[in-house]
Structure 1
Amino acid sequence: MIQRLKQWLTGYTAADQTPVDRDRMEALKKGPLPKHVAIIMDGNGRWAKKRGMPRIAGHRQGMITVRHITRAADDLGIQALTLYSFSTENWKRPKDEVNYLMGLPAEFLRTDLDELVERNIQVRMLGEEEQLPSHTLDAISKFKEATKENTGMVLSFALNYGARREITEAVRRIIDEVKSGKLDKEQIDEELISRHLYTAELPDPDLMIRTSGEIRISNFMLWQLAYSELYFTDVQWPDFSQEMFFEAIEDFQRRSRRYGAV
């Protein structure tokens, strides 16, 4: 128990030193890669409970996993990685857990910003800024400002995000544009709706990964996932390694994407 708590406090586990299989990575690059990968990072609390630690320990370890998967996605040449970090429903969680989650952007800023800049990764947020505390918004603003000129992979954190709210807000904005005369209702099509979503400048996800054994989408990118390949694993997010990420990519490469055609 003491050793586990030390690992949590230092942000270190033995798995962090597992070397990346470069040969496997190069082999993956030769096949079709998803342009955009979206991940529902599930299982942090259960991971911690199983080890007799507080739930926030799972979120702390989960942030380390974010670091490793971001590196793996960037090294593979994936264009966009979107991580479901905090949903509009997560406000119902215990206050101390919510407070810790709201502090993670500032911690991630302190530990990872330099590497993200060095890797030419651009950081974005998808979601409603309302309700977010000022220190969370300040960290997000610093991320966005420091990486706005970066032209590499787009790393998006879906924070205070709910797909139904996203679509509802898009409909409201479209209605306002029709009422103001900027838009004719006959111009409303799928492309226009997509342009009014948080992900307007991103391709729809080719692959959606969910960890921890739950087989549902949980109000995540309902519009954008229409033709995404879905990959579910029983592994909890803190234990989701780069090698497991490669397995998901390999599974994607074995699939035939027909988009409704024969």
Structure 2
Amino acid sequence: MAQRRTVVINSSASSTCWDVGTGLRHLGVIVDGSRRWAKARALSTADGHRAGAEKIHEVLDWCEESGIQVVTMWVLSVANLRRPADELSPLLNIIEDLVLDLHCTGRWDVRPIGDFGLLPKRTAAIMSLVAGAEKPQPGAMQVNVAVAYGGREELVGAVRRSVAELAARGYNAEDIAEALEERDIARHLYTSGQPDPDLVIRTSGEQRLSGFMAWQGFQSELYFCTSLWPDLTRRDFDAALASYDRRSRTRGA
């Protein structure tokens, strides 16, 4: 169960008391702005991605302290794989190190998700290794690291696997069209068995989802933060949770 935590924000003008974290089980995060952060500081793009990876560790600490059960961090989209090799290669190395480091802490249930078939062999092998590794103690926070991920691609894959499953049971095309249900597709998503995201945060000021969790996020609350990802502060994070906490969620009822 998500914990409640009172946060006091002090400023020269006033102090604000927020009670955060109510009912937030799954947090989705679109990690955005590391390249712009590096450019603004005359640093290399790789330096920006390294700073972004360090921030992921910090934000996961905040999530754990807030009692969040599942966190999905989108760190590499399918479209990102079209970046120039001199940028993509260091980025993949940083992601490999990030996923291994998160796993080796032993604190969290780290689950790389995405289409690993699109990745170089070494990167794909590391993602698969961690995905299949022994899990930590029950109750550990689940951390999905979305790599080579796209929401449309995830849906297409889930439908294909659902159709193949029904075909293997002897269904013909007409039978499949009649029998296919939402639960069949949901069972073949990367996040099968996990709650849908309650809140999705995107950093850097961009106000779009870019296909992130297109199926799972249909009722997610959205929070767009102007901070570039490496600049994200605890105040920014708590403001997002407080915003979620103040919203009335009817889920269409």
Indicate the TM-score class for this superposition, using the shorter chain for normalisation: 0.7 to 0.9
In the alignment, structure 1 residue 101 sits paired with structure 2 residue 91: yes
Q: Is the 8 A contact 1:122 1:144 kept in 2?
A: no
In the alignment, structure 1 residue 127 sits paired with structure 2 residue 114: yes
**Match of residue 137 from structure 1:** 124
Deviations 1:220-246 (A, max 9, x none): 111111000000011100101233111
Question: TM-score, normalization: structure 1?
Answer: 0.82
**Match of residue 13 from structure 1:** none
In the alignment, structure 1 residue 154 sits paired with structure 2 residue 142: yes
State how far apart, in whole Å, the 1-side matches of 2:168 and 2:98 are. Answer: 42
Q: Return closer, same or farther for 1:114/1:171 CA change in 2, 3 Å cut-off.
A: closer
| One-letter amino acid of the structure 2 residue matched with residue 24 of structure 1 | V
**Match of residue 230 from structure 1:** 222
Aligned-partner SS, 2:27:
strand
Give the number of the structure whose residues are more often strand, by fraction. Answer: 2
CA-based RMSD: 2.2
Q: Return closer, same or farther for 1:33/1:114 CA change in 2, 3 Å cut-off.
A: same
Q: Return closer, same or farther for 1:97/1:202 CA change in 2, 3 Å cut-off.
A: same
Shift of 1:148: 1.9
In structure 2, list runs of 5 or more residues that go unmatched. 9-17
Aligned residues: 236
Shift of 1:189: 2.2
Q: Is the 8 A contact 1:48 1:55 kept in 2?
A: yes
Question: TM-score, normalization: structure 2?
Answer: 0.85
**Match of residue 199 from structure 2:** 207
Task: Name the % identity.
Answer: 38
Q: Is the 8 A contact 1:45 1:55 kept in 2?
A: yes
Q: Return closer, same or farther for 1:171/1:52 CA change in 2, 3 Å cut-off.
A: same
State how far apart, in whole Å, the 2-side matches of 1:96 and 1:79 are. Answer: 36
In structure 1, list runs of 5 or more residues that go unmatched. 1-21
Deviations 1:183-202 (A, max 9, x none): 66444222222111111121
Aligned-partner SS, 1:160:
strand
Q: Aligned match of 1:64 in 54, 63, 68? A: 54
State how far apart, in whole Å, the 2-side matches of 1:48 and 1:130 are. Answer: 30
